[in-house]
Amino acid sequence: MHNHAAVGEPYMTKMNIVLFGPPGAGKGTQSKFLMEQYGLGHLSTGDLLRAEIQAETPLGLQAQELMSAGELVPDEVVVGMIRNRLTDNPAAKGFIFDGFPRTRAQAEALDAMLDKLGTGIRLMLALEVEEEELVKRLLGRGATSGRPDDRSEEVVRKRIREYEQKTAPLKDYYQAQGKLRPIHGMGSIAEITARLTAAIEG
Protein backbone atom coordinates (compact mmCIF):
# COMPACT_ATOMS: atom_id res chain seq x y z
CA MET A 1 0.00 0.00 0.00
CA HIS A 2 2.70 2.52 0.98
CA ASN A 3 4.85 1.86 -2.06
CA HIS A 4 6.16 5.43 -1.96
CA ALA A 5 7.72 4.86 1.46
CA ALA A 6 11.32 4.78 0.26
CA VAL A 7 14.01 6.53 2.34
CA GLY A 8 14.32 10.23 1.50
CA GLU A 9 10.82 10.55 0.13
CA PRO A 10 8.12 12.62 1.86
CA TYR A 11 6.60 9.63 3.59
CA MET A 12 9.72 9.21 5.68
CA THR A 13 10.25 12.90 6.42
CA LYS A 14 6.76 13.47 7.84
CA MET A 15 6.23 12.53 11.45
CA ASN A 16 2.58 11.76 11.97
CA ILE A 17 1.84 10.41 15.43
CA VAL A 18 -1.36 9.03 16.90
CA LEU A 19 -1.38 9.97 20.59
CA PHE A 20 -3.71 7.38 22.00
CA GLY A 21 -5.27 6.54 25.32
CA PRO A 22 -8.46 6.66 27.36
CA PRO A 23 -10.16 9.92 28.37
CA GLY A 24 -8.04 11.59 31.01
CA ALA A 25 -4.82 9.82 29.96
CA GLY A 26 -3.02 13.14 29.47
CA LYS A 27 -3.09 13.40 25.69
CA GLY A 28 -3.73 17.15 25.62
CA THR A 29 -0.97 17.87 28.12
CA GLN A 30 1.61 15.77 26.33
CA SER A 31 0.57 17.05 22.89
CA LYS A 32 1.74 20.54 23.79
CA PHE A 33 5.21 19.27 24.54
CA LEU A 34 5.41 17.13 21.38
CA MET A 35 4.29 20.05 19.20
CA GLU A 36 7.07 22.24 20.51
CA GLN A 37 9.75 19.58 20.60
CA TYR A 38 9.15 18.27 17.08
CA GLY A 39 7.43 21.18 15.32
CA LEU A 40 4.24 19.25 14.68
CA GLY A 41 0.70 20.42 14.12
CA HIS A 42 -1.94 19.29 16.63
CA LEU A 43 -5.30 17.91 15.54
CA SER A 44 -7.72 17.18 18.36
CA THR A 45 -11.22 16.16 17.30
CA GLY A 46 -12.45 16.97 20.83
CA ASP A 47 -11.13 20.55 20.47
CA LEU A 48 -12.56 20.86 16.94
CA LEU A 49 -15.96 19.65 18.15
CA ARG A 50 -15.94 22.03 21.12
CA ALA A 51 -15.19 24.90 18.69
CA GLU A 52 -18.25 23.88 16.64
CA ILE A 53 -20.37 23.85 19.80
CA GLN A 54 -19.03 27.27 20.79
CA ALA A 55 -19.91 28.65 17.35
CA GLU A 56 -23.38 27.05 17.61
CA THR A 57 -23.12 25.45 14.17
CA PRO A 58 -25.59 22.70 13.16
CA LEU A 59 -22.76 20.20 13.50
CA GLY A 60 -21.99 21.52 16.96
CA LEU A 61 -25.59 21.17 18.02
CA GLN A 62 -25.69 17.56 16.88
CA ALA A 63 -22.35 16.75 18.52
CA GLN A 64 -23.22 18.41 21.82
CA GLU A 65 -25.98 15.94 22.67
CA LEU A 66 -23.78 12.92 22.03
CA MET A 67 -20.77 14.37 23.81
CA SER A 68 -22.70 15.30 26.91
CA ALA A 69 -23.99 11.72 27.08
CA GLY A 70 -20.43 10.37 26.80
CA GLU A 71 -21.07 8.81 23.39
CA LEU A 72 -19.00 9.06 20.22
CA VAL A 73 -20.07 11.39 17.42
CA PRO A 74 -20.54 9.78 13.97
CA ASP A 75 -17.42 8.77 12.05
CA GLU A 76 -18.34 10.89 8.97
CA VAL A 77 -18.40 14.02 11.13
CA VAL A 78 -14.95 13.65 12.64
CA VAL A 79 -13.39 12.27 9.45
CA GLY A 80 -14.72 15.31 7.55
CA MET A 81 -13.25 17.71 10.11
CA ILE A 82 -9.84 16.02 9.94
CA ARG A 83 -9.85 15.91 6.13
CA ASN A 84 -10.30 19.69 5.95
CA ARG A 85 -7.44 20.36 8.36
CA LEU A 86 -5.02 17.99 6.59
CA THR A 87 -5.49 19.55 3.18
CA ASP A 88 -5.38 23.09 4.63
CA ASN A 89 -1.92 22.35 5.93
CA PRO A 90 0.11 20.46 3.31
CA ALA A 91 3.41 21.94 4.45
CA ALA A 92 3.24 20.83 8.10
CA LYS A 93 6.13 18.66 9.30
CA GLY A 94 3.58 16.21 10.53
CA PHE A 95 0.69 16.02 12.94
CA ILE A 96 -0.15 14.75 16.36
CA PHE A 97 -3.58 13.15 16.20
CA ASP A 98 -5.19 13.51 19.62
CA GLY A 99 -8.51 11.78 20.26
CA PHE A 100 -8.62 10.55 16.67
CA PRO A 101 -8.99 7.88 15.36
CA ARG A 102 -11.46 6.43 17.87
CA THR A 103 -12.95 3.64 15.74
CA ARG A 104 -11.68 1.20 13.15
CA ALA A 105 -13.57 3.09 10.40
CA GLN A 106 -11.81 6.31 11.44
CA ALA A 107 -8.40 4.60 11.43
CA GLU A 108 -8.98 3.24 7.94
CA ALA A 109 -10.20 6.63 6.70
CA LEU A 110 -7.11 8.30 8.18
CA ASP A 111 -4.76 5.84 6.48
CA ALA A 112 -6.51 6.46 3.16
CA MET A 113 -6.35 10.25 3.53
CA LEU A 114 -2.66 10.23 4.48
CA ASP A 115 -1.82 7.77 1.73
CA LYS A 116 -3.36 10.15 -0.81
CA LEU A 117 -1.07 12.88 0.51
CA GLY A 118 1.93 10.58 0.14
CA THR A 119 2.42 10.13 3.86
CA GLY A 120 1.29 7.88 6.70
CA ILE A 121 1.25 7.27 10.43
CA ARG A 122 4.67 6.62 11.87
CA LEU A 123 3.78 5.66 15.46
CA MET A 124 0.88 5.12 17.82
CA LEU A 125 1.93 6.18 21.31
CA ALA A 126 -0.62 4.56 23.62
CA LEU A 127 -0.81 6.03 27.14
CA GLU A 128 -1.87 3.46 29.71
CA VAL A 129 -3.53 4.65 32.93
CA GLU A 130 -5.60 2.79 35.52
CA GLU A 131 -9.35 3.45 35.48
CA GLU A 132 -9.65 4.87 39.01
CA GLU A 133 -6.86 7.34 38.26
CA LEU A 134 -8.69 8.41 35.06
CA VAL A 135 -11.93 9.03 36.93
CA LYS A 136 -10.08 11.04 39.55
CA ARG A 137 -8.28 13.18 36.95
CA LEU A 138 -11.42 13.81 34.86
CA LEU A 139 -13.63 14.79 37.78
CA GLY A 140 -10.80 17.01 39.05
CA ARG A 141 -10.62 18.70 35.64
CA GLY A 142 -14.42 19.03 35.57
CA ALA A 143 -14.35 21.01 38.78
CA THR A 144 -12.25 23.74 37.13
CA SER A 145 -12.42 23.45 33.31
CA GLY A 146 -16.10 23.97 32.69
CA ARG A 147 -16.25 20.92 30.42
CA PRO A 148 -19.73 19.51 31.06
CA ASP A 149 -18.65 15.98 30.12
CA ASP A 150 -16.07 16.05 32.94
CA ARG A 151 -18.56 16.94 35.67
CA SER A 152 -20.57 13.76 36.09
CA GLU A 153 -19.06 10.48 37.22
CA GLU A 154 -21.69 8.63 35.20
CA VAL A 155 -20.68 10.37 31.95
CA VAL A 156 -16.98 9.92 32.72
CA ARG A 157 -17.45 6.18 33.25
CA LYS A 158 -19.57 5.98 30.08
CA ARG A 159 -16.70 7.56 28.09
CA ILE A 160 -14.26 5.06 29.54
CA ARG A 161 -16.63 2.18 28.51
CA GLU A 162 -16.92 3.65 24.99
CA TYR A 163 -13.13 3.79 24.88
CA GLU A 164 -12.74 0.19 25.97
CA GLN A 165 -15.35 -1.15 23.55
CA LYS A 166 -14.81 0.91 20.40
CA THR A 167 -11.42 2.57 20.67
CA ALA A 168 -8.99 0.33 22.58
CA PRO A 169 -9.20 -2.38 19.85
CA LEU A 170 -7.36 0.05 17.55
CA LYS A 171 -4.19 -0.98 19.36
CA ASP A 172 -4.40 -4.24 17.42
CA TYR A 173 -4.81 -2.33 14.15
CA TYR A 174 -1.57 -0.39 14.70
CA GLN A 175 0.20 -3.32 16.31
CA ALA A 176 -0.37 -5.30 13.11
CA GLN A 177 1.48 -2.51 11.27
CA GLY A 178 4.34 -2.55 13.80
CA LYS A 179 3.49 0.98 14.97
CA LEU A 180 2.14 0.47 18.51
CA ARG A 181 4.27 1.77 21.41
CA PRO A 182 2.58 1.31 24.81
CA ILE A 183 3.59 4.07 27.24
CA HIS A 184 3.16 3.84 31.00
CA GLY A 185 0.96 6.88 31.73
CA MET A 186 1.19 7.08 35.53
CA GLY A 187 3.76 9.31 37.26
CA SER A 188 4.76 12.93 36.82
CA ILE A 189 4.11 14.83 33.59
CA ALA A 190 7.87 15.08 33.03
CA GLU A 191 8.38 11.34 33.51
CA ILE A 192 5.70 10.56 30.95
CA THR A 193 7.14 13.11 28.52
CA ALA A 194 10.52 11.39 28.83
CA ARG A 195 8.93 8.00 28.01
CA LEU A 196 7.23 9.47 24.94
CA THR A 197 10.49 11.03 23.74
CA ALA A 198 12.31 7.74 24.19
CA ALA A 199 9.68 5.93 22.15
CA ILE A 200 9.86 8.49 19.33
CA GLU A 201 13.64 8.53 19.19
CA GLY A 202 14.19 4.86 19.97
Note the residues at the interface with ligand ADP (CB under 6 A): 23-24, 45-46, 49, 66-67, 70-73, 78, 99-100, 102, 106, 149, 159
Provide, rounded to whole angstroms, the least separation between the CB of residue 66 and ligand ADP: 5
For residues 11 and 45, which CB has a smaller minimum distance to ligand ADP in the complex?
45
For residues 11 and 46, which CB has a smaller minimum distance to ligand ADP in the complex?
46
Report residue 177 CA to chain centroid gap: 18
E strand map for 16-173: 16-20, 41-44, 95-98, 121-128
Residue nearest to ligand ADP (CB): 46
b/e map of 171-182 (b: 16 or more CB within 10 Å)? Answer: bebbeeeebbbb
What is the distance between the alpha carbons of residues 16 and 30, in angstroms, rounded to a whole number? 15
Provide, rounded to whole angstroms, the least separation between the CB of residue 71 and ligand ADP: 6
Angle between helices 104-116 and 75-88 (to 10 degrees): 20
Provide, rounded to whole angstroms, the least separation between the CB of residue 38 and ligand ADP: 21
Provide, rounded to whole angstroms, the least separation between the CB of residue 12 and ligand ADP: 27
